[in-house]
Amino acid sequence: MGISLWNTRLDVPEFKTSSENPEHLGDVIDVEEQKLFPVVDWQLLQRQVQTCQACDLHATRTNTVFGVGDTSASWMIIGEAPGADEDLKGEPFVGKAGQLLNEMFISIGLSRETVFIANILKCRPPNNRDPHVEEVAACQSFLEQQIGYIKPKVILAVGRVAAQNLLQTKETIGRLRGEKYSYRDTGIPVIATYHPAYLLRSPLEKRKVWQDLVLAKKIMATR
Ligand code: SF4
């Protein structure tokens, strides 16, 4: 798939296809930190998102949805794009899907306040359609800067669109979940799982999400 992938047995993650040695990933982040994570002015970034007109979605949004949570969080949760509730409130993952996401956090000892939640896009696509390639490209720098500022220890990509864009692949979420990847060349582990909106329609899949969360938590323990 052209992406970094480790074996995902729940005991010791095993390096699989990247040329990097995972035992030294922590060193890579320290030594190369300035190169990997350029300095970000968080307040300026927020203002830039609020006033952004870089793609057509600015014309139909009610609010931009910058992201919410702890900017020094170890966990970063990244979804697809704002829906109707999020567009109205200016906050990601509210409504029923947001409630389920909160329950997912609680199940592994986290809370909405102790993670940072963001989306691939900061504005709602009309009728909740998939983001267009040019919209993702226009918005990409905002998310990159958020990741660079927060420097999470693990990224949880929720849903197909988030996982495919973060991992630069067209694989299905069903094939992407259950594995450990790396966010580009940063060494930050990425775990992909189903979107809570999908779980509302397919509650039997909650078991798989639980497995993904356990995997992410085990990876966190090694960081
Ligand atoms: Fe700007 Fe992103 Fe909103 Fe497009 S989706 S207008 S790039 S903030």
16-66 tens-digit pLDDT: 222 333 333 344 445 566 667 778 899 999 999 999 999 999 999 999 999
pLDDT per position as a tens digit, 104-120: 989 899 999 999 999 99
Does 45 contact ligand 1 (Cβ within 6 A)?
A: no
In ligand 1, which atom is closest to the CA atom of 121?
5
40 CB within 6 A, ligand 1: no
d(CA 109, ligand 1 centre) in Å: 33
Separation of alpha carbons 189 and 210, rounded Å: 17
For residue 145 and ligand 1, the question of a CB distance below 6 A is answered with: no
User: Would you say the CB of residue 49 lies under 6 angstroms from ligand 1?
Assistant: yes
Q: What is the rounded distance in angstroms from the CA atom of residue 158 to the CA atom of residue 17? A: 23
pLDDT tens-digit series, residues 62-85: 999 999 999 999 999 999 999 999
Going across the sheet that includes 5-7, the strands are 14-15, 5-7, 180-182, 189-193, 154-158, 75-79, 116-119, 68-69
DSSP 3-state assignment of 78? Answer: strand
Nearest atom (ligand 1) to Cα of 53: 6
- The pick from 53, 58, 66 for probing ligand 1's pocket by mutation, whose C-beta has the most ligand atoms within 8 angstroms, reads 58
Helix, strand or coil for residue 125? coil
**Taking residues 118-127, what's their average pLDDT?**
97
Ligand 1 pocket: which of 55, 80, 119, 133 to mutate (most atoms within 8 A of CB): 55
CA of 70 to the centre of ligand 1 (A): 22
Q: Is the CB of 123 under 6 A from ligand 1?
A: yes
**Distance in angstroms (rounded) separating the CA atoms of residues 175 and 165:** 15
Decide if 124 contacts 87 (C-beta within 8 A).
yes
User: Does the pTM exceed 0.95?
Assistant: no
Strands 180-182 and 189-193: antiparallel
The residues that bridge with 78 in the sheet, in sequence order, are: 118, 157
**Which residues touch 103 (CB under 8 Å, ≥6 apart)?**
none
Rounded CA-CA distance 103/101 in Å is 5
Residue 25 carries which DSSP code? Answer: H
Per-residue tokens: 112: 């909405």
Burial of 97 (0-12, 13-18, 19+ CB in 10 A): buried
Query: Taking the chain, what is the end-to-end CA distance rounded to the nearest angstrom?
Result: 25
pLDDT at 204 over 50: yes
pLDDT of residue 16: 29
**Best substitution site from 53, 78, 86 to test ligand 1's pocket, by max atoms within 8 Å of Cβ?**
53
One-letter amino acid for residue 29 of the chain: I
Q: Where are the alpha helices (DSSP H) in the chain?
A: 25-31, 33-36, 42-50, 84-89, 95-107, 133-150, 160-167, 173-176, 196-201, 206-221
